[in-house]
Chain A
Amino acid sequence: MSTPLISIRDLHVSFHTQDGVVKAVDGVSFDVMPGETLGIVGESGSGKSVTANAIMRLNFGTQVDVSGEIIMNGKNLLEVDDDELRTLRGRQMAMVFQDPLTALNPFYTVGNQIAEAYLIHHPKATKSEVREIVLNAMVKVGIPEPTKRMDSYPHEFSGGMRQRIVIAIALVNNPQLLIADEPTTALDVTVQAQILELIGTLQEEYGSAVMLITHDLGVIAETADRVMVMYAGHAVELANVDELFETPTHPYTVGLLGSVHSLDDSSRGALQTISGTPPSLINLPTGCAFHPRCRFELGENSLCRTEAPQLHAVGKSRSACHLPESQLLQIGAKGGV
């Protein structure tokens, strides 16, 4: 086992709002290995974006508390000063956002924006060098006629093309870690397929690790090596992708997999669902945050209702559930796809 590229330990992020303290991320720990793709999946509001933003330290504002450790190359990113942080952002770790329509600065040409990303970390580069780099980056992400298009403004591109430019910006400095937060959610399936393939190809070429955040289990299945499942600010399962889909080891994962619709499933009968809705992050249920929606919950006064389960080994995966290992494996074997 090689050393992790980045280690997140006991990450807590909470927002102070008028209604109370929102515990968006509540004690999450995981590693990203060099060159791997870690998928993070969960329903909306489960804390995926907040986790990603915490790593880049983009949760700015006075009303937010962040604690825990984010260790990259021996440094705790939560403690480095602003100047050092700037040298890391965009250089060692880069980010791709969900909505390509709003992610680019509308007032500058795309060429200018790719160039800026390079120049920040290579201030001595000459004009012709930068131009070369920008053209190269645009070719790599598959923008046709880059010499002509580099002088176009973002609004002159389609959503898919804009996402390619955001990826070009992210990869122009060859970062070790690429965080992609729902990079294809706003795109059509045909374009999604293009973008996912592009990320995969570039990842192979550059050897970057990718943290791919999505709510779509299909995207996870097709891209991730390992998967972290999040629920209400907690990591409930951490598993290799094959394991996760074959034998999920947490009741939430089982429910999630069960409610996926599939193209070749012609059954008209009732779909499996997870009953109820995700809890309020201001008033999290006691014990396991999932217990009010859980089919297997152990009942009144059980651990499920009193003690928050921690991630521990279950089969080949790690699960945060109080049920005995044997029962979890059994549920998973039946409920998995």
Chain B
Amino acid sequence: MATVLEADHVKKYFPTGASKWLLRPTDQVLAVDDVSFKLEAGTTLGVVGESGCGKSTLGRVLAMLLKPTDGSVRLNGVDLATLNERDLNQVRRDIQFVFQDPYACLNPRHSIGESIATPMKVQKTHDKQGRRQRVQELMELVGLNPEHFNRFPHEFSGGQRQRVGIARALALNPKIIVADEPVSALDVSIQSQILNLLEGLQNDFGLSYVFIAHDLAVVRHIADEVAVMYLGKFVEYGDATSIYKTPRHPYTKALMSAAPVADPKIGRERKRIMLTGDVPSPVNPPSGCRFRTRCWKATDQCAEVEPQLVEVVPGHRVACHYPES
């Protein structure tokens, strides 16, 4: 299989806070801190973790909406940092972004037809007639009534607006779609509709997805590989089946254990790992292993030595000094 997208030691830091005297801030949010992975054509990488762990920031860096502070992103083997503005624009077509709340990024005064056509207009890929035709084609594809192209966003439900967002992302025939919590704001019955749609599109067009979510069960359905993020780092990364069957990082285990199960009998019987406290600040992450402040297995070593992401079984990496077996 061919690698379509590759992240190599990607970092994204944001300056934050005001210094005491000068206007220049002194602190940095380590939003994404040294992340590497490879995405194969036609597969899905699911990225999970609690809020504030850097998932969206990673997604934006991958979709070229943000420049990485350090490290490189390679699209079809080409390092994006080496491209000039014109070539970048060209490759931008290949990677598209789907937002959590499509309402926030659809112009309320534009009909959804116009919104879907925007990328084609910006990239000048179709003439007016072509755009119109393509919009209707896309609407059909994502399960919207093509006759509704001149309706406005507020006339659609949340699920339908997400379909609009997906249609727009598909407009330029991308190879990769980065979807940031595309179903988190939707009701379960609608979530399933959107997930089915995404899977159908993947099969039909050989798309690759980076699928960001905080809900492990949603990712379970769509991902081939899973990355669990904690405070800007991948703490566990690898084959989805392997991770869901035998989570090896204590954080992954705790996340899975915390997710409520829609079955009262199982729910009553199982013993839950209860994490204490919240995610620490990404401005001053804990030394050594960043999870140690909430980890029930932490020792002195965890405070001193940062665990590296190492392959424990083929296709399954963990960054923990005491991985579960």
Contacts and interface: CB of A to CB of B under 8 A. Distances in A.
State yes or no: do A and B touch (Cβ within 8 Å).
yes
Interface of A: 43-44, 158-161, 188-194, 196-197, 215-222, 241-242, 245, 255-257, 259-268, 270-275, 277-278, 337
Given A188-B51, A218-B259, A261-B221, A271 B192 contact: yes
A257 B160 contact: no
A218 B257 CA distance: 12
What 8 A-B pairs have minimum CB-CB distances, sorted nearest first? A218-B260, A271-B192, A261-B217, A274-B189, A43-B187, A188-B50, A193-B258, A273-B192
A271 B272 CA distance: 27
Contacts of B157: 277-278
A183 to B, nearest CB: 13
Interface of B: 50-51, 157, 159-160, 187-193, 195-196, 199, 214-218, 220-221, 241, 244, 254-265, 267, 272, 274-276, 278-279
Contact of B244 (A158, A256, A266, A272): A266
B181 to A, nearest CB: 13
A217 B221 contact: no
A37 to B, nearest CB: 12
A271 B276 CA distance: 34
B260 A216 contact: yes
A271 B193 CA distance: 8
Contact of A189 (B189, B196, B214): B214
Contact of B189 (A190, A197, A222, A273): A273
Nearest to A243: B264
A190 B275 contact: yes
A261 to B, nearest CB: 4
Contact of B258 (A159, A190, A262, A265): A190
Contacts of A161: 278
Given A189-B258, A197-B274, A271-B192, 10 more contacts: A189-B214, A193-B260, A194-B275, A218-B261, A222-B264, A241-B264, A257-B262, A259-B192, A273-B196, A277-B190
A268 B221 contact: yes
A160 B278 contact: yes
B264 A263 contact: no
Contact of A260 (B195, B241, B262): B262
Nearest to A262: B217
Contacts of B217: 260-263, 265
B262 A217 contact: yes
A191 B279 CA distance: 10
Contacts of B279: 188
A156 to B, nearest CB: 13
B188 A266 contact: no
